[in-house]
Amino acid sequence: MSRVAVVGGGPGGLMAAEVLARSGAEVTVFEGMPSVGRKLLLAGRGGLNLTHTEALDEFLDRYGSARARLEAAVRAFGPDDLRAWASSLGEDTFVGSSGRVFPSSFRATPLLRAWLRRLDQLGVDIRTRHAWRGWGDDGELRFDGATTAWAADATVLALGGGSWPRVGSDGTWTSTLLAAGVDVRPLRPANCGFSTRWTDAFRTRFAGNPLKNVRLTGAGSSARGDAMVTDAGIEGGAVYALAAGLRDAIDRHGETELLVDLRPDRAVDEMADRLGHRSKDSRSSALRRAGVSPVGIGLAREATGNRLPDEPAALAALLKAVPVRLVGVQPLDRAISSAGGIALAEVDDAFMLRRRPGTFVAGEMLDWEAPTGGYLLQATFSTAVAAARGARTWLEERT
């Protein structure tokens, strides 16, 4: 029986442990935190968006430049497989109006409890409070914890990115792998908010207010959904969908522009016609009658120094493309996920580190990113299954 170490007790690590244990390996999971699955539980506060039901080719495009390296893993363990796996744990799934997939309970706790019972039945040993500290002189894994050294026939690393330090994804593993000669790209915020230079008046009145059903355009892309005005700037689902391009534009130029279409279902001429029939209404009343929310009106005033155009066509054009100047990126520890990590060229098709045979990598430790909507968890699970299958094959070839 092969002895396999899985380092990291998040969704990627636990999935790798299950696949390996089913193949007959003796599996031990090492987790630095006091319990496993913390990031999964945190994601469950929003309903636990497991995956998405859009066509697989469109789904794969969400991974951008990393698509070519992730495609085989996602096709081998795709959205339907993930839903079937959840159902096997007693958690049937349903499809929301946006195509996102959630557990029927809309919570992570029942799924995690059933999963841990299954892992226990498969004989998986879970050791918490074991922070990984790299390799010893003889290649053994080194830990801070009761078990200071561990010799494994194969290892799967699934330590996450750097965006959730309070649940264990703190990115401290980057220095360990850099010291081992692995090309690790700097971890950067992904699915993050951005800072602006709101005036005090706008910030005081509108921070915490949602921009509902808007279309955002920036860095050559657009997305429709909701956004949130924050004290420091703007965030939310539609912002996250554009975050990678906006972040890179700010890295290049120091700032970038985001255009907000406050009424994406109305054409400019239709808006102008509505605004042209003001009668004796005040400007704000006419805007509200045209379907623009108070926070939208405030945003338009903010963009023009409180000098809205008088001419209906010009005002309509503004409302269809309110400019917001983004001057900074939300810090990594406040982002939903992270970009950067182990360069994909550092792993082979089975996600094994080329510089350290027998060590496989899964999840956000690898240099890929995707928007929210189920794409993050899907790729984490898919790469974990691929890494575990790769480890199994590698072990079989050596027996």
Look up the domain containing 202 and give its range. 194-329
How far is Cα 67 from Cα 132, in angstroms, rounded to an integer? Answer: 29
Identify which of 318, 314, 311, 313 has the alpha carbon closest to the alpha carbon of residue 292: 318
pLDDT for residue 68: 97
Which pTM value belongs to this model? 0.93
- Could you tell me if 59 and 182 lie in one domain? yes
- The tally of domains found in the chain comes to 2
Question: In CATH, what number is assigned to the domain containing residue 139?
Answer: 3.50.50.60
Give the dihedral of Cα atoms 173, 71, 92, 120; nearest 10 deg: -40
Distance CA 7, CA 166 (A): 17
| Residue 167 sits in the same domain as residue 230 | no
Q: What is the pLDDT of residue 286?
A: 83
Q: Tell whether 121 and 231 lie within a shared domain.
A: no
Considering the domain architecture, whether residues 242 and 386 belong to the same structural domain is answered as no
Same domain for 184 and 44, yes or no, is yes
Cα–Cα distance, 42 to 115 (Å, whole number): 16
Residue 45 has what pLDDT? 86
Q: Which of 196, 157, 165 is nearest to 390 (CA)?
A: 157
Contact 69, 368 (CB under 8 A): yes
pLDDT for 12: 98
Same domain (yes/no): 210, 67: no
- Residue at which a domain ends, from 310, 329, 348: 329
Residue 298 is predicted with a pLDDT of 96
Burial of 208 (C-beta count, 10 Å sphere; 0-12/13-18/19+) = exposed
For 93, what's the count of Cα atoms within 13 Å in the CB-facing half-sphere?
A: 27
Using alpha carbons, select from 291, 234, 236 the residue that is nearest to residue 257.
234
**Which of 308, 329, 350 is where one domain is finished?**
329
Residues 263 and 205 in one domain: yes
Is the domain of 180 the same as that of 31? yes
From first to last of its 399 residues, the chain has per-residue pLDDT tens of: 899 999 999 999 999 999 999 999 999 999 999 999 999 999 888 899 999 999 999 999 999 999 999 999 999 999 999 999 999 999 999 999 889 999 999 999 999 999 999 999 999 999 999 999 999 999 999 999 888 999 999 999 999 999 989 999 999 999 999 999 999 999 999 999 999 999 999 999 999 999 999 999 999 999 999 999 999 999 999 999 999 999 999 999 999 999 999 999 999 999 998 888 755 667 778 888 889 999 999 999 999 999 999 899 999 999 999 999 999 999 999 999 999 999 999 999 999 999 999 999 999 999 999 999 999 999 999 999 999 999 999 999 988
In whole angstroms, what is the distance from residue 166 CA to residue 290 CA? Answer: 45
User: Which of the listed residues 284, 303, 329 is the one where a domain comes to its end?
Assistant: 329
Same domain (yes/no): 12, 31: yes
- Give, in degrees to the nearest 5, the angle at Cα 82 between 363 and 4: 50
- Which helix (H) or strand (E) covers residue 218, if one does? strand 210-218
Residue 311 burial (CB count, 10 A): 11
Query: Does residue 168 share a domain with residue 67?
Result: yes
